[in-house]
Amino acid sequence: MPIDATLPYDDENIFAKILRGEIPSKKVYEDEWAYAFHDIAPQAPLHILVIPKGRYVSWDDFSAKASADEIAGFVRAVGTIARDHDLVEPGYRLLGNVGADGGQEVPHLHVHLFGGKPLGRMISA
């Protein structure tokens, strides 16, 4: 069910629980600013979710309120994960869903990283 991205942060959302280690995840990367894990329902041969450690509902929330260090750390983590998986030469796709029209279902900012095959020109509706 898509969320309202203007709602306050909910500490009981599933990615908050993953960050706290309360539910399992298949971790692929972690540093001071970001945590990354395999999507539970992959939509490409490689489908990783990258989330900031901070309490941000969406890209809107993050871009408005996160510090420069948090933003730089998160963006660098996404790039590092792609390089670590040798995705730069074949290429990959980043996707960030925001709010109801964006189809965002989990109210903790996440970037989808897709790779492992040609992904076509754009997502289908």
- Distance in angstroms (rounded) separating the CA atoms of residues 18 and 70: 19
Is 85 annotated as catalytic?
Answer: no
- Distance in angstroms (rounded) separating the CA atoms of residues 78 and 36: 9
Report if residue 97 touches ligand AMP, rule: CB under 6 A.
yes
**Among residues 91 and 103, whose Cβ is nearest to ligand AMP?**
103
Report if residue 5 touches ligand AMP, rule: CB under 6 A.
no
Report if residue 64 touches ligand AMP, rule: CB under 6 A.
no
Q: Residue 13: helix, strand or coil by DSSP?
A: coil
- Distance in angstroms (rounded) separating the CA atoms of residues 42 and 115: 11
The residue within the footprint of ligand AMP, chosen from 25, 57, 109, 115 (CB under 6 A), is: 25
Of 50-58, 65-73, 98-106, 113-121, the window that binds ligand AMP (rule: CB under 6 A) is: 98-106
The residue within the footprint of ligand AMP, chosen from 9, 28, 29, 39 (CB under 6 A), is: 39
Measure CA 117 to chain center: 19
- Distant-in-sequence, close-in-space partners of 103: CB < 8 Å, separation ≥ 6: 2, 97
Report if residue 58 touches ligand AMP, rule: CB under 6 A.
no
Residue with token string 């709010």: 99
Residue 89 CB, shortest distance to ligand AMP, in Å, is 25
Report the catalytic residues.
110
